[in-house]
Structure 1
Amino acid sequence: MRGRRGEQAAVEREGSAVSDVGRLIAGRYRLAEQIGRGGMGTVWRAEDELLGRQVAVKQLHVSPHLSEDELTTMHERTRREARSAARITHPNVVVVHDVVDDEGLPCIVMEYVPSTTLGDLLKEGGTLSPDETARVGRGMIAALRAAHAAGVLHRDVKPGNVLLGTDGRVVLTDFGIAMATGTSTLTKTGEVVGSIDYIAPERVRGRKPGPASDLWALGATLYQAVEGRAPFRKPTPIETGYAIAVDPLDPPRRAGSLAPLIEALLEKEPERRPSAEETERALRGPASEPETTVFPVQGQDGGRTTTTTMVLTTNRSPAAETPPGPPPRRDAPTPQRPNPVPDFPTASPPKGSGARKARWTAVGTALAIVVVAGGVYAWKADIGSPSASAPSASPSFTPSPVPEGYRLVKGLGVSFPVPDAWKIDSDSDGKVDNTQEVRYLDPTKMVQLSVNVLDFASDDQVKHFEDVEASLKKEVLAYERTRMQETTFRGMPAAIWEFRFKGRARWFRAIDLGFGNEGDKEYAIYLSAPEDQWSRYRPIFDKVRDGIRLP
């Protein structure tokens, strides 16, 4: 019955749109052509007969089934949109001229921008080049900086709200659910309003949004522009919300030099994202001279204050060099039982209903209600709190199948997938720094993958990495940590460490995962690659991590 009513309402709106052509609103604005329509309203190109100029008029859609309170809320949202946008004076923000009454409903009169939306351009998997994406991003971040400076949060940044003018102008529009600092919310407790694909993790978890929430939505928009899909899109809104809250990001593969910025914007925790100013500086990179931009971002990992360094490198072609080896390993002290820690944040959960069910019922859940086009959805999601205990891995954990283009190799009592074209480094067939190591190199010998085995697991994986880090700093020309945190891997105590360091002629990025049970061996998986190719090679680490077979 609901579907039939929806179809009837759509037919009625379509008929109304045709009959409204030529209608005069507020005795001044004559509707000429429908140029857009969404769940909340219809946008028209109209003629301002008083000033003789073209304008855009946004009419509100109102369902006859709305209660008086719901109708009042919709009216207030429309007025708030006008007030919010009117507070911002910037060429990348649509100008609001007036708010008028039309048969008892408010209408917003805005400047008319001959354009298409980024959403229309990206329909059915369309993409933009990294350079064009950066150009669009520069317009969007300029608009957001202006909005945030005026005390306005947009809260619905998405491709459909980005106008691409025929003159090259990029305009952010539709402040319909914007929120000005100091104003009361129009949502119920636990309710999140917006387009689910672009709602930041903290909003999905029911937390209060801030400027960083708009920046996450910017990152999701840039990701879709280069990849042709939203970063966490799943078959249903409930699954999408769950993925946004807890699932790792599938790294962008077509973003080129934009990849580090997009990954940083899509960090789960808002304090780990770059600021609007840092984002704007980074987006200038793809259109400028070769440069490296480094942004330190303070955050918390399991109660430990860390500095996340987000790096954007563009257009560098340094001379070839052999990549430095992995950091030296240390003998582990007498193992002790570690405290419970959260699940490894970048690892995909094991396939099958068991692991998924365990995470859905984990201690520390948040109830969120998301309002999206087509209905209201509610679900419980593991909020990924650093203080939450991780579910134990199943003893029958099944590693991922060997990916296409990889082969399974054996060594040091383990086996793991390696790209077919990569060859073992002959120098890695014995003891290295009191640890067994096997090392593989790509055909250029610039990218290195290694697996290490210690005889005893460390009692504190993070402390172990910090000791290794101190030694590494003395061996490289320059070093910057991007992440170091306690975690678990397949139910074992673990730590993840990411950093960048300078070789003889270029910067490299690296990721290192160490894990092991008390009284057992300790394992480490390490990958390093030239920084300007990191987005290309970083997924190899995930495939090795997910496919490694342990004793």
Structure 2
Amino acid sequence: MGTEGDDCRVIAGRYRLEARIGRGGMGVVWRATDQLLGRRVAVKELALEASRSGEDARLRSDRTLREARAVAQLRHPHIIVVHDVVEDGERPYIVMELIDGGSLADRIAERGPVDAAEAARIGIDLLSALRTAHEAGVLHRDIKPANVLVESGTERVVLTDFGIARVAGATTLTETGSFVGSPEYTAPERMSEARTGPESDLWSVGALLCAVLSGESPFRRDSIGGILHAVVAAEIRPPAQAEPLLPVVRGLLERDPDRRLNAAEAEGMLRTFLETGRTPQPPATPYTPTQRDIPRQTPPPPSAPAPVGRSVRGVLIAALLVAAVAGAGVSAAALLIHGGSGDGGGTPTSPAPGTSASTSASPAPTVTVTRGAATSPAAADSHTAPSGYRLARDPAGFSLAVPEGFTRDPQGERVFYMSPGQTVRLGIRATVPQTGGPLGVMRRADVKGPDTNPGYHDGRVTRTTHHGHPAALWEFTWKGFSTAEGPRHTYDMCWEEDGRMYDVWVSAPVGKVREAREYFDVAVDTFLPT
């Protein structure tokens, strides 16, 4: 079914739009015909924001096309096939395979919840798809029943809208406090913008499993404020129907992303359930706290909140704020604190290994980052390295904590500290302040991202502060400088301090993104000019 177009117009000289089959915040989906190949396709016509300047709209369009092309490289039976990415009249369109069937949300609405075996099958298919995507450095960011299609006749589960919610510039919270995306399925670390990684997609799968088993997300409430509070602070109560799969659901709905089940673990547990009919047990090797989970700050005064581990700090800050305003509706969203995930692009110059120049076209609201040990004067004065790190007093005029075993490798005006084998690279650069400050530097760098970092995608720049100084964070994924190197992820922060501009970044293989984030956090937290 669908609404017929007024003129069955043809875009890009090839695709005839015939009937509207869906509409959402991202735009309109059409049933169409590829006149060149004579096949039926689905075409997503992405919405343009009239409030944006021509240059901003152009940058957003470029990012959308760039990211959609990255998704088009994915090949998996449970990921929608992207055939083409085109522009027509300055509007971007994404051409995809046409799935004969409705969404999982439609199926639940029409037929009701599914049983545990069917939920396990759906979960296995989605987790398998996500493993392929995550290995390629691509995140979904908006997994929900409406974005999962079920093919008629075969019951094949297909994950669609892959990456589109993010690439079109939609952040979790807008500057006005409105929610962009699907809050009932959004991980708590994304709510606080503390980090966004593969773990966030896995939380969404956990919420989706609850929805297909019971008919609704366990975080559904009457207001945005209520949903936010349910996600980041309230007790998580999976529905009774989830009992056969409870260890999987609880493992995916673990608020600390470092303790959350990974895709392979969850998929294996669901397969065990299908094969045996018995409730699967958690992985044999339980999570063991490490030194990095132990707060490094000295105890605060009684009136201050107790310090927490790095991986949950942003979430708990968000929880405190949301709890205080949960009844205030949408305005509660505006009070959440960004936790500092992002890429800081450094000054735009020729790239060195592990860094690049780039900027984000997304508007960057001012945020405050609560990070680690050096965020308080007392911690900065002590300037000690946590366990597993050493304090490097660099002759270039700074000191910071670097992982033990990393060796110094100066390259012109940049200084690198390399892991054994140089697979992880920690870089530092000091320059004079640049036009537009840290945010301007990062935004200009992001524009050049595809030129300086092969396969650049998922770039994001956020305005923030570092020890009270203006700063910007940049985060992105790319293919690496060689096939042998493989896909990489980069965290980067740039800030101004005492008349100088500093840039600190960490680049690592996508499979080591957790370690990279810790190395980055520790480096930034402990950095001091000397």
Task: Tell me the TM-score normalized by structure 1.
Answer: 0.50
Q: What does residue 53 of structure 2 align with?
A: 67
Q: Which residue does the alignment assign to 2:337?
A: 367
Q: Counterpart in 1 of 2:228? A: 241
Alpha-carbon spacing, 1:41–1:179, altered in 2? closer, same or farther (3 Å): closer
Out of 252, 255, 259, the residue aligned to residue 239 of structure 2 is: 252
Q: Secondary structure at the match of 2:276?
A: coil
Matched, 1:85 2:55: no
> Which of the two has greater strand per residue?
1
Other structure's SS at 1:232 match? coil
1:205–1:368 CA contact under 8 A, matched in 2: yes
What is aligned with 1:298? 287
Unaligned segments of structure 1, at least 5 residues: 1-13, 306-336, 346-354, 370-375, 386-551
The 5-angstrom pairing of residues 263-412 of structure 1 reads: 263-290=250-277, 292-295=280-283, 296-298=285-287, 300=289, 357=324, 366-367=336-337
Pick from 192, 205, 210 the counterpart of residue 218 of structure 1: 205
The Cα shift of 1:246 comes to 1.0
CA contact (8 A) 1:273 1:297 kept: no
- The aligned residue for residue 138 of structure 1 is 124
Question: Residues 63 and 256 (structure 1 numbering): CA distance in 2 closer, same or farther, change over 3 Å?
Answer: same
Match of 2:13 in 1: 27
CA positional deviation for 1:121: 2.1
Corresponding position of 2:487? none
CA 1:110 to 1:194, structure 2 compared with 1: closer, same or farther past 3 Å?
Answer: same
Q: Which amino acid aligns with 1:45?
A: R
Structure 1 residues 233 and 358: CA distance shift in structure 2, 3 A = closer
Matches within 5 A, 1:456-467: none
Task: Check conservation: 1:252, 1:259, Cα contact below 8 A.
Answer: no
CA contact (8 A) 1:81 1:175 kept: no
Give the counterpart of 1:126 among 95, 112, 133. Answer: 112
Match of 1:94 among 67, 74, 80: 80
1:113 aligns with 2:113: no
Contact 2:103/2:149 (8 A) holds in 1: yes
Higher Cα radius of gyration: 1
| Contact in 1 for aligned 2:210/2:217 (Cα 8 Å) | yes
| Contact 2:226–2:326 (CA under 8 A) maintained in structure 1 | no
Conserved 8 A contact 1:116-1:164: yes
Determine the C-alpha separation between the residues in 2 that align with 1:153 and 1:358.
Answer: 31
1:198 corresponds to = 185
Map of 1:436 onto structure 2:
none
What displacement does 1:297 show?
4.5
Q: Distance in 1 between matches of 2:55 and 2:171?
A: 12
Q: Deviations over 1:216-252 (max 9, x none)?
A: 0111111111121112122112221122111110132
SS at match of 2:261: coil
For the residue of structure 2 that corresponds to 1:209, the secondary structure is: coil
Distance in 1 of aligned mates of 2:213 and 2:132: 25
Matched, 1:154 2:140: yes
Separation of aligned partners in 2, 1:45 and 1:88: 22
d(CA) in 1 for partners of 2:241, 2:170: 39
Aligned to 1:163: 149
CA separation in 2, counterparts of 1:57 and 1:204?
A: 30
Shift of 1:276: 0.7
SS in 1 for 2:155: coil
Residue type of the partner of 1:294?
Answer: P
Q: Which amino acid aligns with 2:85?
A: V
**CA distance change for structure 1 residues 241 and 188 in 2, over 3 Å: closer, same or farther?**
closer
Q: Whole-Å Cα distance in 2 between the matches of residues 263 and 78 of structure 1?
A: 34
Q: Are the equivalent residues in 2 in contact too, given 1:199–1:217 (CA < 8 A)? A: yes
CA distance in structure 2 between the aligned counterparts of 1:225 and 1:285, rounded to whole angstroms: 19
8 Å CA contact 2:15, 2:33 repeated in 1: yes
Conservation of the 8 A alpha-carbon contact between 1:80 and 1:176: no
* Mapping of residues 487-506 of structure 1, within 5 Å: none
Cα deviations by residue, 1:489-534 (Å, 9 ceiling, x for unpaired): xxxxxxxxxxxxxxxxxxxxxxxxxxxxxxxxxxxxxxxxxxxxxx
| Letter of the 1:203 counterpart | R
SS, match of residue 90 in structure 1? coil
Q: Which amino acid aligns with 2:232?
A: A
| Contact preservation (8 Å) 1:32, 1:44 | yes
Equivalenced residue count is 320
Letter in 1 for 2:274: A
Match for 2:248: what amino acid?
L
TM-fit CA distance, 1:272: 1.2
> 1:286: how far off?
3.2
Identity of aligned residues (%): 42
- Structure 2: how far apart are the matches of 1:60 and 1:217? 24
**CA 1:125/1:200 → structure 2, altered by over 3 Å: closer, same or farther?**
farther
- Give 1:103's aligned amino acid: G
The Cα shift of 1:124 comes to: 8.5
What residue in structure 2 maps to residue 262 of structure 1? 249
Task: Give the conservation status (yes or no) of the 8 Å contact 1:152–1:179.
Answer: no
In the alignment, the residues of structure 2 paired with residue 99 and residue 287 of structure 1 have an alpha-carbon distance, to the nearest angstrom, of 38
**Aligned twin of 1:173:** 160
Question: Once the two structures are superposed, what CA deviation does each residue of 1:3-47 show, in whole Å capped at 9, x if it has no partner?
Answer: xxxxxxxxxxx9xx6444522222211122222111111111111
Tell me the distance in 2 between the aligned counterparts of 1:88 and 1:19: 31
* Conserved? CA contact 1:73–1:186, under 8 Å: no
1:163 Cα deviation after fit = 0.7
What is the CA–CA distance in structure 2 between the aligned matches of 1:96 and 1:298, rounded to whole Å?
Answer: 38
State the partner residue of 2:214. Answer: 227
Q: TM-score, normalised by structure 2?
A: 0.52
Write the distance in 2 (CA, Å) between the matches of 1:341 and 1:125: 48
Q: For residues 207 and 97 of structure 1, what CA distance do their matches in structure 2 show?
A: 34
CA distance in 2, matches of 1:127, 1:77: 37
TM superposition shift of 1:293: 3.8
Partner of 1:58: 44
2:139 counterpart letter in structure 1: L
Query: C-alpha separation between the residues in 2 aligned to 1:267 and 1:73?
Result: 36
Distance in 1 separating the partners of 2:111 and 2:306: 38
**1:78 to partner: Cα distance:** 2.8
CA distance in 1, matches of 2:84, 2:6: 20
2:183–2:227 Cα contact (<8 Å) kept: yes
Supply the AA of the counterpart residue of 1:256.
E
